[in-house]
Amino acid sequence: MKLRMIGCSHQTASVRARERVAFTTAQVPEALERFRNRFPLSEAVLLSTCNRMEIYLAALNSDECPSHRDIVEFVAGFHGLDAVDIFEDLFERTGEDAVRHLFTVAASLDSMVLGEAQILAQVKQAYELACAGDHAGALLNLAFQRAIRVARRIANETAVNQKRVSIPSVAVADFACQIFERFDDKRVLVAGAGEMAEETLKYLAQQGARRITIVNRSSERARALAESFKARSEPWDRLLDLIVESDLMISAVGAERPILTVDQFRTIAENRAQRALFLLDLAVPRNIEPEIGGFQGVYLYSIDDLSAACERNRKSREKELPKASRIVDEESRRFMAELRHRATGPTIQRLKERAEELKSDELSRLLKRLGPVEPHARDEIDRAFERLVNKLLHPPLESLRDHAERGAAHGLFDAFVQLFKLKD
């Protein structure tokens, strides 16, 4: 029985190295099919994301599991590369280390952003793609199902993924939600149509924001972003009028000078009648003059405020890392013990069946020689044979189980098979 993982991640390889060996979602089924044609007796799950490429392997017989070099050559061949050029980029984990690595990855303890939720969905997708093509067998089915449960256990028992750590998520969860109890009735104005604005809008939409207006110097980009959120776009020159109407404004415009000055805001404030206004300035240089935060009813936060909150949340997550790591270690040991028990189970069962056959044969032979025997005496003889067999088998079977739990049963297991002729 062999478990192995070969791959690379942001922890071990550069972006350029990861790009060379990455597989798109569309390529994964083809890669797995090629893998099966080349290694028909091995199971495989292929996990490929922007931060990692990892192939998980398993085989009932160790000799049937592809080696590190085999996988390097396979990956190189698929991508038209020279194996020598990527050999050092792909590291290897085997046995319990491979299981521990899988559990760590699924629980987002090895992610670039500790505790991010996306990786578990990616692990599930990789596993489902392997199952769809019948590439994951008994061993990897057990390993990946357990990895998903371990990730959920860590999410429930630790705070590793409870605090937001990205600028957009913190802006909404740690700041906007402190000002507003609900967002479905709030008028949201977005100045800018770049990545930061879009990411923040995703979190606002998750909170229920529906009345969204987008303005941008490029009206085409504003319309495109508006369509994706079922929002409306307005001309850039309507920005100040739209602020008067809004409850919340996100500003992420690349500009050398502020797009909202104190003088401009004085007029806006007169028309707002002191209604609460949440201003989120995600730009560098800042889009909104900081003095505007001094107006009554205005809550202004800049990228520095958000970065400080992100760092606090990141440190909070890191404090939970030792607890999460202990869970991974515990679950890895438990999984390997169960796996070894499963491996020795059929052999133990065959030995018990062989012993039962021998007992039955000898008991039958004895009873024939003895002639008529009272039922009570017959039962006593049967129980005596049963006790004798159990007492003889108990020490070696107990020793085999103990060695299996400690991961040291390989030699003893082979000896059992040889001594009792249990191959078939």
Tokens 């032979």 map to which residue?
A: 365
Contacts of 233 (CB under 8 A, 6+ apart): 213, 214, 215, 216, 219, 222, 223, 225, 226
Q: How many residues in total does the chain contain? A: 424
3-state secondary structure of 402: helix
- DSSP labels, 256-292: SS-SB-HHHHHHHHHHHTT--EEEEE--SS-SB-GGG
Cα angle for residues 310, 311, 316 (degrees, 5° grid): 95
d(CA 175, CA 309): 9
Catalytic residues: 50
In 10 A of CB 399, how many CB atoms?
A: 13
Q: Take residue 170 and report the two structure tokens written for it.
A: 């913190």
> Rg of the chain's alpha carbons, rounded to an integer?
32
Residue type, 49: T
Q: Take residue 59 and report the two structure tokens written for it.
A: 């085989």
Helix (H) or strand (E) holding 219: helix 219-228
Residue type, 334: R
